[in-house]
Amino acid sequence: MPVEPAIQRLIDATPGFMPRVEGAYLHELALISPGNSEHPLVEIGTYCGKSTLYLACAAKALSSTVITIDHHKGSEENYPPFPYFDQRLRHRVSQDLETFNTFRDTLRLSNLTERVMAVVGDSSNYAKLFPQGSAALVFIDGGHSSVQSWSDFIDWSPKLIQGGVLAIHDVFDDPAQGGRPPFEIVTALRHSKTFVELNQVGSLAAFICSS
Ligand code: SAH
Ligand code: MG
């Protein structure tokens, strides 16, 4: 069941880092997850809401909710001289990246506002407040430094319920294509007894939590 065309057009027009084929897979993963009104879909790394919309469409079908977490200041690679810097998203006064307002606009245009709860804050701090064993899906796409990537994995993978889906973005076998931490985490997951690999589409790898 693909995302409806009007939402897909909005997704395509939203700044972000989620190729269509990977977004479609994220949507599919959310649909097969055990998400419902008690078990939400959690996203780390909202940016402008591009990937959030794929999850929100699935949340609507599941009568579930997306909890999306971002401090909205951008990651290292969202600042010059990196190619993932978008001048349009720079705050006029602070000169920091500021993605919250664009995210709100994305959500408003989607009519999926009631499916999404946004947490504006640090993912590691919020993890301390979020119950273990409660999420139906955890999608990790926040800070890509080694410390932040591993922290998100260590903090957030125990939030899954049995049968929940763990999805990791920006997994590149070839170091020339992108940073190492997501690939290293996925390599560790492939040796884990708790997680069973589902598939990898593009740079989006997915596992099921078996216990
Ligand atoms: N999922 C988005 C892209 C996310 S980019 C899409 O598909 O378009 C990564 C995001 O992680 C950035 O917006 C950045 O602000 C956020 N981020 C980085 N470190 C973070 C942290 N420690 N806590 C919360 N958000 C963080
Ligand atoms: Mg990403």
Q: Output the DSSP codes for 73-106.
A: S--GGGSTTSTT--GGGB-TTT-SB--HHHHHHH
59-to-30, 53, 124, 201 alpha-carbon distances in Å: 7, 9, 24, 21
Q: How much is the pLDDT for 90?
A: 87
- pLDDT of the chain along its 211 residues, tens only? 789 999 999 999 999 999 999 999 999 999 999 999 999 999 999 999 999 999 999 999 999 999 999 999 998 888 888 888 888 888 888 888 999 999 999 999 999 999 999 999 999 999 999 999 999 999 999 999 999 999 999 999 999 999 999 999 999 999 999 899 999 999 999 999 999 999 999 999 999 999 8
Residue 158 DSSP label: G
72 is catalytic: no
- List strands edge to edge, sheet with 41-44: 116-120, 66-70, 41-44, 135-140, 160-168, 204-209, 195-201
Q: How much is the pLDDT for 101?
A: 95
Ligand 1 near 69 CB (within 6 A): yes
Beta bridge partners of 206: 167, 199
Global pTM exceeds 0.75: yes
Q: How much is the pLDDT for 84?
A: 83
How far apart (Å, rounded) are the C-alpha atoms in residues 62 and 38?
11
Q: How much is the pLDDT for 52?
A: 98
Say what the alpha-carbon torsion angle 155, 122, 106, 59 is, to the nearest 10 degrees.
30
Atom of ligand 1 nearest to the CA of 148: 22
Q: Is 70 helix (H, G, I), strand (E, B) or coil?
A: strand
Catalytic choice (27, 71, 72, 144): 144
Q: How much is the pLDDT for 18?
A: 98
Q: How much is the pLDDT for 39?
A: 98
Q: Whose CA is nearest to atom 19 of ligand 1?
A: 143
Atom of ligand 1 nearest to the CA of 14: 8
Q: How much is the pLDDT for 92?
A: 83
Ligand 1 near 27 CB (within 6 A): no
Joined tokens for residue 142: 């926040």
Ligand 1 near 49 CB (within 6 A): no
Joined tokens for residue 58: 């699935």
Q: How much is the pLDDT for 15?
A: 96
Q: Are the C-beta atoms of 139 and 68 separated by less than 8 Å?
A: no
Ligand 1 near 85 CB (within 6 A): no
Q: pLDDT tens digits, residue range 93-122?
A: 888 899 999 999 999 999 999 999 999 999
Nearest to 50 by CA among 120, 98, 115, 110: 110
Beta bridge partners of 44: 69, 140
Residue labelled with tokens 């999850």: 55
